[in-house]
Chains A and B, each alone.
Chain A
């Protein structure tokens, strides 16, 4: 007996988005990263074309991060440079082989340190000079200052192909204009909703942001904290994209670390909850599992924190892609 194994093919494919620009393309990055381009379900190499592997970005905060979000397990790794994002960037690139970094401007938040925009942009330029990997620049949230800051980053680092995070429903125009003017990628963030994701993509493309410059952030619910909604929204968006909906065909980015290290299940120590086991390995696995299952739902870029969690997910990606 022989069986016919089903082979699912699709009319649509995912757009290819390039992060960073090398010298040949007018920038100073040592490499460019391309994501997307696949015409198959996530990691289904057995029945389609998946030209690029998913990539992982190391998240680096611009100022010393708060302890309730960056807990001791992950602080320990970066303990000598918690207040030095330039050294932090060098460490992840040189020691951990980071291929992509995400500079997260938490200090610019008016409710926190309210760092002036000029300082933020100055820091970005220092990091651009210190490491040569492509860079994602993430704001602190939403608001006029956030948009203005990201637009200024785009302007001052034009030609480097940086990625701006994130355009949202009410604050997308400034960022869309900056992305077009300074040749940047733009993350389009919507709150775990298929229709809102599509709507924002339409708004951005209506403003002439090219499809191959947009990344979809479906908003990542932490494991145990709305994770299943993100998982299913990603599956639905990807199915629509592969079905031929060009307003859904952008690669996904997930900010995994930000939803990992603040949850109770990660923070409790083994001394407080003996049956939960060692907090170090538990936290690393929490981040790795969150990222890994999102790969199954279609993630193309995972923004993470702990180098061991990142190494484990990279190892798995190797195994999927080596066929």
Chain B
């Protein structure tokens, strides 16, 4: 567990020498606890203090790296059970399957679909993380040839899904160092897989249906030189997934047991209903899985799953604000309506969602109101008519539209007069109080005006 400021203070020399740049040792300790500075700044730190702080700074779940280059996947380093306690750092990697016995053309098309599964959402790129090559052929040469094709045609790391170490070795040989992760090691084959992983800098997953055995295997595999290890507790039902993934996270954070401080893997079986398969992925995303392998998939599953992952792995410590400025919903033009609102993220999300639902593309001018919602901002004096009016003019929206109408939230109808004074020649329209009434407003008020 991380040390508190006071615990760290007790380990410091307590001389208040100021060499570290802080006025007192206590102030320095507080900064150390917040991980904003390094102990190196203290010239008199004892070895004891260095050891204690060093141990406390090692994350309870090891950082694991899969693949290399731009699309390298990093997992682990998680420190909490609930995202509101800090954040979830490294998002669940989603590996989509491609069977090695598909005909050439279909194989290539499938890999391409996986490569292309990335989308722009809310200013971020959300994408599938890896290609999972599934051993169906049972033939080392065929498996290796397909692995080579994936390497040559996809920038993503490869998950080699085979229980046979010799086939894995053949595929690793043709794909080279640090190409991805070996998925298929069990108690019986752990040593063989460990050797391949260690000597080729691949990551590997070790699987056991017994949580006890899993910890032992993990320790042995690490001792055999594998640097990037994931643990897969297996499952029969969704209840097992919740139980196993939760317990692994708890034991790891607790640090008392060795062998569980690794990212976990969730390997979904073939032949299940595609909705249920997708819900299993969702469970992995919300409940701590580092890597999820989905052998069979459909492109309609991408957006819901990747969006869920994006949401759950958003940092809750960030203020709930969007930047001030002009936003577009759909592809607005010079005749599109202009809505005015504050920069509180939720307000913005709801507004943009309802505008989208109205079917009428629009501009939104977001006023920086320190992340407050409309009414709060108005009561706090951050959303007065004059301020808003000036901010709208300064936003440059006038250059993007031919008309001179803007729509303000119904809750702040009172600012209309002041806005008119600040924006001579503009028509200040009072919109609905609730964003959910925007579709009706567009139909009943905006469209007839046009």
Contact = CB atoms under 8 A, between A and B. Distances in A.
A82 B287 CA distance: 38
Given A239-B82, A262-B357, A282-B301, 5 more contacts: A225-B350, A226-B345, A228-B83, A235-B84, A292-B282
B278 interface: yes
Contact of A315 (B276, B350, B359, B441): B276
Given A111-B432, A223-B304, A285-B278, A276 B299 contact: yes
B176 interface: no
Contact of A232 (B84, B250, B302, B373): B84
Interface string B227-251: 0000000000111001100110011
A315 to B, nearest CB: 7
A44 B237 contact: no
Interface string B420-450: 0000000000001010110111001000000
B353 A263 contact: yes
Q: Which of B122, B287, B308, B320 has the most chain A CB atoms closer than 10 A to its own CB?
A: B308
A281 B278 CA distance: 11
A312 B242 CA distance: 18
Interface stretch (B31-39, B211-219, B332-340): B211-219
B1 interface: no
A288 B279 contact: yes
A229 interface: yes
Contact of B314 (A3, A228, A281): A228
Main DSSP-derived SS at the B contact region: helix
A68 B439 contact: yes
A10 interface: no
Contacts of A320: 237-239, 242
Contacts of B437: 109, 111, 141
B282 A5 contact: no
A142 B117 CA distance: 42
B350 A278 contact: no
Interface in A269-295: 270, 275-282, 284-286, 288-289, 292-293
A41 B237 CA distance: 18
A46 B275 CA distance: 25
A114 B147 CA distance: 64
Nearest to B310: A224
Q: Which of B242, B275, B283, B345 has the most chain A CB atoms closer than 10 A to its own CB?
A: B275
A223 B300 contact: no
21 contacts: A3-B212, A45-B239, A66-B439, A66-B440, A112-B440, A141-B437, A223-B307, A224-B307, A225-B349, A225-B350, A229-B320, A239-B82, A265-B304, A267-B356, A276-B300, A280-B300, A281-B274, A281-B275, A282-B304, A292-B282, A316-B238
Contacts of B439: 66, 68-69
Contacts of A236: 82, 84
Contacts of A316: 238, 276, 279
A222 B83 CA distance: 18
A263 B355 CA distance: 10
A228 B312 contact: yes
Nearest to B275: A312
A317 B65 CA distance: 35
A6 B251 CA distance: 7
B84 A312 contact: no
Given A225-B353, A229-B320, A235 B82 contact: yes
B346 A221 contact: yes
Contacts of A284: 275
Interface of B: 82-84, 116-117, 119, 121-122, 211-212, 215-216, 237-239, 242-243, 246-247, 250-251, 254, 257, 273-276, 278-279, 282-283, 285-287, 298-305, 307-308, 310-312, 314, 316, 320, 345-346, 349-350, 352-354, 356-359, 373, 432, 434, 436-437, 439-441, 444
A227 B187 CA distance: 40
Contacts of A270: 300
A279 B215 CA distance: 43
Nearest to B302: A277
B239 A323 contact: yes
A320 B243 CA distance: 10
Contact of A1 (B215, B275, B320, B444): B215
A88 interface: no
Contact of B353 (A141, A222, A308): A222
B84 A265 contact: no
A225 B303 CA distance: 13
A292 B286 CA distance: 10
A94 B312 CA distance: 37
A44 B307 CA distance: 25
Contacts of B301: 277, 281-282, 285
B221 to A, nearest CB: 15
A44 B246 contact: yes
A69 B437 CA distance: 11
A306 to B, nearest CB: 11
Nearest to B236: A319
A43 B239 contact: yes
Contact of A293 (B116, B215, B282, B303): B282
B91 to A, nearest CB: 12
Can you list the 10 inter-chain pairs with the closest CB atoms, starting with the nearest? A277-B300, A277-B299, A262-B357, A282-B300, A228-B311, A281-B300, A232-B84, A224-B307, A312-B275, A225-B349
Contact of B350 (A226, A276, A277, A285): A226
Contacts of B238: 316, 319-320
B214 to A, nearest CB: 9
Interface in A163-214: 191-192
Given A228-B314, A262-B357, A315-B276, A289 B304 contact: yes
Contacts of B349: 221, 225-226
Nearest to B121: A224
A7 B298 CA distance: 38
Given A231-B312, A288-B275, A68 B84 contact: no
B359 A3 contact: no
Contacts of A83: none
